[in-house]
Amino acid sequence: MTGEAIKLRRKFCIAGTIPDIEQVVITELNGTRVGFVVDCVIGEHQTVIKSLGPAFKQVEDVSGATILDDGSVALILDIPQLVRSVEEESRPKNIHALHGAMNSSRCENFTLNGGQKDESK
């Protein structure tokens, strides 16, 4: 994930027209800068955050919700959990996936022994 911003539309499977200009909101988590691609930045708001309650406890990457001035509901992202889930999604799921990645064209000259070049091929 290093060097890439998290695309929230992709992460949350949001359909619709992507704006001509997307913006990146940058925050810091454990000393590392993390960027999130968003459609627009509304601005700063002081708000009361409500938990989602037991019915929505299983919803990943969201920690709460708030009601905006116009009456619409805004979800509050759980940034540490969101970053963890994106990192987990980007990792190979099993040894077969790892083996497939290691045999891809960009990795074909490397083995699983710490990335040492295999000159025998």
80-86 average pLDDT score: 93
Residue 55 has pLDDT above 50, yes or no: yes
pLDDT of the residue at 53? 83
Per-residue pLDDT tens digits for 1-24: 556 799 999 998 999 999 999 999
Enumerate the domain spans of the chain: 6-90, 92-121
Question: Quick one: pLDDT at residue 96?
Answer: 52
* More confidently predicted of 79 and 106: 79
Condensed to tens digits (0 to 9), the pLDDT of residues 24-52 reads 999 999 999 999 999 988 878 788 888 88
* 103, 76 contact by CB (below 8 A): no
Pick the CATH number of 6-90 from 1.10.150.20, 1.20.140.10, 3.50.50.60, 2.30.30.40: 2.30.30.40
Across residues 109-116, what is the average pLDDT?
A: 35
Predicted pLDDT at 94: 58
| pLDDT at residue 111 greater than cutoff 80 | no
